[in-house]
Amino acid sequence: MAQPASHLAPESGYRIHHYPATLIDTRVEGNAGRLTLRPVLPQDHLLLADLVAGLSPSARRNRFHGAVKLSFSRLQQMSCVDYQRQMALVVTACVDGTERLIADARYVVESDQQGAEFALMVDERWQRHGIGAWALRALERAASLAGLQRLHGEVLEDNAPMLGLMQRCTYALSADPDDNRLVRAQRRLDQATPEPARARRGLLSWLAPGLRGGTPAATR
């Protein structure tokens, strides 16, 4: 998925005014232990850099529609969102005692305030475990709570895994009229989406340093 074109740079002196903690969710993935899905934090830019750097050239092309090297300022933009015009969710895992990002799902609200363009990437080592669908459904819930009516994105026509995910998640697929390399995926949000798990007190305590500008400790 390409980066939404209208992604906005963070304002100078960025501060978190309202962290959407109700979007936090967890699941247990076999020997990997607990995975945490949460809204992105400003200090996640280095973790995002590691996630992107670990992508193969083909996976990076699928996500950004080209071979890109993200600048430090671009990574900061990706981690500093206002949770209103923009939403970004990440999935984290504890790998060798260190928190790692293994997925990123985000959207940018369009000017009509009715829809948003979304993008998704999953670490290739964690694909085929349902993580992409989990993150996408959470993004849909966030969009619905924000009053949006639709999500849409563009997928390269040879990105078979992403197109398969779109079909499983009931997105309508159509050819892009302006670029025959692309397939447009869209889903209306008037369909029921399962409610997320309520954020647990322990998770909020763990995230507290991040909300104050620190770094959450890795958990097993």
Residue 93 in contact with residue 100, Cβ under 8 Å?
yes
pTM for the full predicted model: 0.81
Residue 81 in contact with residue 74, Cβ under 8 Å?
no
Q: Which residue ranges make up each domain of the chain?
A: 21-149+200-211
More confident residue, 61 or 31: 61
Work out the average pLDDT over 48-63: 92
Work out the average pLDDT over 200-211: 50
Q: Domain 21-149+200-211 sits in which CATH superfamily?
A: Gcn5-related N-acetyltransferase (GNAT) (3.40.630.30)
From edge to edge, which strands make up the β-sheet containing 150-156?
25-28, 34-39, 86-95, 98-109, 115-122, 150-156, 182-188, 172-175
pLDDT digits (tens, 9 = 90+) for 81-140: 999 999 999 999 998 889 999 999 999 999 999 999 999 999 999 999 999 999 999 999
Closest CA to 132 of 152, 162, 108: 162
CA gap 64, 180 in Å, rounded:
17
* DSSP track, 134-175: HHHHHHHHHHHHTT--EEEEEEETT-HHHHHHHHHTT-EEEE
* pLDDT computed for residue 67 by the predictor: 63
CA pseudo-torsion sign 182, 83, 121, 163:
negative
